Structure formats: C-alpha cells, structure tokens
Structure 1
Amino acid sequence: MPLNNCIPLKQPITFVLEGFYVPPGYGSLLFFLALLDFVVVLLGNGTVMLIIIIDRSLHRPMFVMVWNLALCDLLGVIAVLPRFMIHFLTGQRRIAYGHAIAQAFCVHTYGAATQTILCAMAYDRYIAVCEPLRYHSIMTTARLIFSLVLAWVTAVMWIGSVLIFHIDIPLCGHFIQHVYCSNRAILNLACGPTTVNNIYGQFYSSIFIVIGFSYIKILQASVTKGKGDSSIRSKAFQTCASHLVVYVLFEISTTIIILSHRFPSMSQNIKKFLSILFIIIPPAVNPIVYGLVSTELRKSIIKLFTLKSRKI
C-alpha cells in the first residue's frame, strides 16, 4: 500500500531490500546454489546462441527466434542472480535508486519480451503448420526481422512507459519488501495513490491470454488439417512442442507466484523463493527443452562437442 502523510524523500535515495532470511551458516550454501543456477543458465543459453550463430543450417526463422528467447532469458537472470549471490555471501541488501529502477526495468522487460517473442514464435509456427507451401514466401527475412524488432520494441516501450511514471512520484520509504526491485515493490513506497500504474499493471497481465489463445488456434488448425493425414498432425505437434513446453513452463512459474499469496501461513522465505521461480527455472530449463525436442539443434550441439573432443 502507498504510504500517506509522509515527507517525500530527496535524491540520492538508497533502498534496502528485505531479501531472504539467511540462517547463520547457510549463506555459503545459498550462494553456491545461486551460482550453480547462474552457471547453468549462462552455459545452456550461451551454447544454444553460439550453435545457432555458427551453424548456417540453423539460420532459419524458428532458430533465430529461439536465439532471441535465449538472449531474453540471460537478461532476466543477469539482472537478478548476481545481486542474490552478493546478498547471500556478504549480507549486503542496499541498492541505489538508479540501480533499483534498472533492475526493475530488466526484470519486467524479461517478462514482457518472453511473451512477445513467444507471440512471434506462435505466428511463425502457425504459418509453418497451416501454410507449409507458402511458408518461405510469407516468412521472409524482412518479415522475420520486423517480427522480432516489433517484439522487443513493444516490450521495451511497454515497460519503459510504466517505469517512466516513477520519475515524478514522490517516495516516502526506503525499505522494499521484496527480494528484488519490481514496479509494484517500488510503488508501494509512494506517498500517494498510483492509479495509472495499476492500470498498466493489469494491461501487463492481459497478454498471457493472447498467447494462450494463439497456441489454441494453432493446435485447432493442426488437428483440422491433419484429419486426413495423421503425419501432418504429428509433424504439427512436433514443431510446436518445444514452444508449448516453454510457454506452459513460464505460465506455471508465474501462476505459482499468484497462488502463493493465497496462503498467508506459508513461510515468508518459501513465498519469496516462489516469487523468483519465473526467473531462475525457465531460463535454466529452456535450453534443455529446445535441445531435446529440436533434432536439428541437438545434432548441431553434439557435432560441435564431438569436433572439440577430437581436437583435444
């Protein structure tokens, strides 16, 4: 809730994050777990991005979009996990105002861009399934670039327009009751109501419905076109499988955040951990999903590591 009847703070403002409660002697263990997830995300997404760049056979719309999704995952993780590691290792919870806004921008952009890129993927897969003979004439290089630029620009402008309201909103508190800086956590320190930002927040969640509807239409079209030929239906499900798994995984992670607030008796540390699942789980699992489901990507990864091992 916004703070009322308080004296607005003056710049420079330094926030204090509530963070996790770290029992004595457990800081090093939590630091190691955070570092492990960080390394897994960097290696997994970095490998996928490198393979797509090196292997010319993967220079196709689907894999270019996967590359952008991997980049988006790195953005979210790099914005949050390093500060967690510092917190676990040193207990440092202070964050400057500019850094707080930057972290909030990166985290929200990660969430928004994940959805807009998945929308672009849904469009690409819909054409591949429903218009296979016209796919290359429709999904041209120009249209691919336009789709990805639109996805990123929409996310950045969307989140930027939300956070720009923070510039003039007076804040009356330093203590952020969260483990990272978010739009809502910062606005809870506002001296007055923030109606405009609340409206933007509701709009932010509406895109979930749009993506879900898009994939439902893809599956319906796949089933309809595959009635006379089961191989078409099988190919359609295979080509959309990885995207659906990634989308569902992201949805589950964000839904858990909402559900955790329904249980007030739940441990605060558990609630805080559940609130960051969408940042630490999907980025670590997505490269595995694409590596297992996409035969071409898996073969390219195996080929690269086989050549490396032979040289050694």
Structure 2
Amino acid sequence: MENYTYNSLTLQLEGLRITETNKYPVFFFLLLAYVFILVTNIGIMVLIWRSLHQPMYLLFCNLSINDVMGNSLQVPRMLADICVPPSERLIHYYECVVQAFTAHMFGTNSHTLLMIMAFDRYVAICNPLRYAAIMTNKMVIKLTVSAWGVAFFFVGILLGLTIRLNRCRTLITNIYCDNASLFKLSCEDSIINNIYGLTFTVVLLSSSIGSIILTYSKITMACLTSKSKSVNSKALKTCSTHLCLYLIMLVSGLIHIVLHRFSGDAEYRKISGILFHIVPGSLNPLIYGLQSQEIRKCLSNIFNLRKVKLIL
C-alpha cells in the first residue's frame, strides 16, 4: 500500500509481523499486561485519593494517570490489529494524530513527572524541617500543572509542525502512530521537523538527567553528612526506588529513539515501542507500592476488613 495518494485521510498501520502460531501468545501477553496496568494503576489512584494525601503520593498519582493514559490509546489498538490481516489495519488520519500526541505526552510526562518527584524527595531529605512549609497543596498543584503544561506545550508544537506537511504516502511503518512515523509520510522537506524533534529530545533529556543528577548528588551529600542511620536508610530506600524507575524509563525510551533512526531494525523498534509503554506502566505501581509502608498498610487494612466481613 506504499502509494502516492496525496493527503489521504485513511492510513495503514504496518503493525507487528507475526505468524499465525505466535499471534495468540502475543495477543494474550499484551492483553494481560494491559489489564495488569489498568488494575494496579487505577487501584493505586483510588487508594491515594481515599487515604494518602501527602505530597509524595499525590505526585505519584500523576504517574499512574500518565501510565493509564499512555497505554489506553496504544495497547487496545495493537490488540485489534493483531486480530486482522495487515491489509485491514486501517486508521483515520485524525485518530493517528491523536494517538501520536498521546504517545509523546506519555513519554514527555514520564520525564517531567519524575523530575518533580525528585524535587519532592530532595526537599524531604535535605530540608525535612521545612518540608511541610515548602510542599504545600498549592506547591503540589503548581508542580503538577507545570509538568503537564510543559509537556502539552512542546508536544503540541512537535505535532503542529508535522500536521502542516502534505502527505504523499499512507503506510505507517510502526505498531502505533508517533511523530516520526507521521512526518515520514510527507514528500516535502522535513528538516524543520528533524531539527525541532532533535532539539526537543536533547533539551528534555538534558533537563531530566541534569535535574536527577543534581538532586541525587545533594541527597547523597546530605546522607553522608547525616549521622542518623534511620534517615539514611529511608533516603536510600525511597531514592533507589525512584532512581530505578527513572533508569527503566530512560533506557527503554532511548532504545526506541535510536532505533527510529535505523529503518533496517523496524521490528526491534516496534518491540522497543511496546516495552516503553508496558514495562514502566507495569513496574511503577509495583515498585512504589511494595516499597511504600503506607500503601502496604492501606492494602493490608482493606484485605483484613474484607476477611472480617466474610467471616461475619
């Protein structure tokens, strides 16, 4: 379907190239992963909304919202495409744009939200006596709006530059729509898109990595100068969890970006795109939930209450 129909509103998704034998295992793997992401993240969101109103958990709730949003517009579409022949994997152009916008919002928010969570940990460990005064409800709202607002602004420009291009192709060589796949449909000069996309990626990653290095350096110094073993243990436990999530997200995202530059590795790029969505989305609630004493306590109270009701 690689034709030259100009500005066609019907596009074709290449999707995964899998055999009939592998179709059902892949389908059920993605389905189980998606259900797991929904159940765990929505469960965490409900738990935080009902019981845990501390700044750390309110900021973490944004991460769960981002994981649900990022996967809900990608994974169901992948599941539907697995069930149909490649020639029938059609998508409307505007739906494709919305999907691309959501995919890039998910990726950008993953960085901005972890940046503000790192700031929260920095204040809690390095300025514990002023934590309540700094991390007020107003500050939490400001940080949340900033994280989502920055992502919305820059991703909006990214997709806006792509939408202006005329299209002469209809084949999306990916499992879902993203900005690179969309501007590759154009026969026009896309140098501006490449420059902005590269600049956007460099600025985002530099800001993200720089803020993580800065905050964790200060946290490390505070731990080294502190004589309290309980403070050091709490800092190590909380920050190692945060850093683990950040590294998982960073590595999976970088692999996907690098593979987009090599057309010969299309299948590896598709797999990396899947992993970029489902791995952080699955691990975020698990890692944070298991290491958080408050979340474990709330879950234990809920299960104990249900046991009592069943006995009665």
TM-score by length of 1: 0.90
Root-mean-square deviation (CA), in Å? 2.2
Asked if 1:249 corresponds to 2:243, the answer is no
Query: Contact conserved, 2:162 with 2:193, CA < 8 A, in 1?
Result: no
The equivalent position to 1:71 in structure 2, one of 65, 68, 71, is 65
Asked if 1:217 corresponds to 2:202, the answer is no
Q: Which residue of 2 aligns with 1:236?
A: 235
The equivalent position to 1:136 in structure 2, one of 132, 148, 152, is 132
Structure 1 regions of 5+ residues with no counterpart? Answer: none
Q: Which residue of 2 aligns with 1:88?
A: 82
Asked if 1:19 corresponds to 2:18, the answer is no
Query: Contact conserved, 1:40 with 1:284, CA < 8 A, in 2?
Result: yes
Asked if 1:105 corresponds to 2:126, the answer is no
Pick closer, same or farther for the CA change 1:20–1:234 going to 2, 3 Å: same
Report the CA distance between 1:272 and its aligned residue: 1.8
Q: Which residue of 1 aligns with 2:271?
A: 273
Report the CA distance between 1:202 and its aligned residue: 1.5
Letter in 2 for 1:296: E
- Measured against aligned partners, the alpha-carbon deviations of 1:92-137 in whole angstroms (never above 9, x if no partner) come to 4110001000000000000011111111111111111111111111
Query: Contact conserved, 1:241 with 1:293, CA < 8 A, in 2?
Result: no
Pick closer, same or farther for the CA change 1:168–1:274 going to 2, 3 Å: closer
Report the CA distance between 1:230 and its aligned residue: 4.7
The equivalent position to 2:191 in structure 1, one of 170, 190, 195, is 195
TM-score by length of 2: 0.90
- Measured against aligned partners, the alpha-carbon deviations of 1:127-159 in whole angstroms (never above 9, x if no partner) come to 111111111111111111011011111111111
Percent identity, aligned pairs only, is: 34
Q: What does residue range 148-159 of structure 1 map to in structure 2 within 5 Å? A: 148-159=144-155
Report the CA distance between 1:76 and its aligned residue: 0.9
More divergent stretch after superposition (292-301 vs 97-106): 292-301
Aligned equivalents of 1:236, 1:217: Cα separation in 2:
15
Structure 2 regions of 5+ residues with no counterpart? Answer: none
Aligned equivalents of 1:108, 1:254: Cα separation in 2:
11
Report the CA distance between 1:69 and its aligned residue: 0.3
Report the CA distance between 1:283 and its aligned residue: 0.1
Asked if 1:204 corresponds to 2:200, the answer is yes
Greater than 3 Å deviation, 4+ residue runs: 258-266, 268-271
Aligned equivalents of 1:218, 1:186: Cα separation in 2:
36
Query: Contact conserved, 1:222 with 1:233, CA < 8 A, in 2?
Result: no
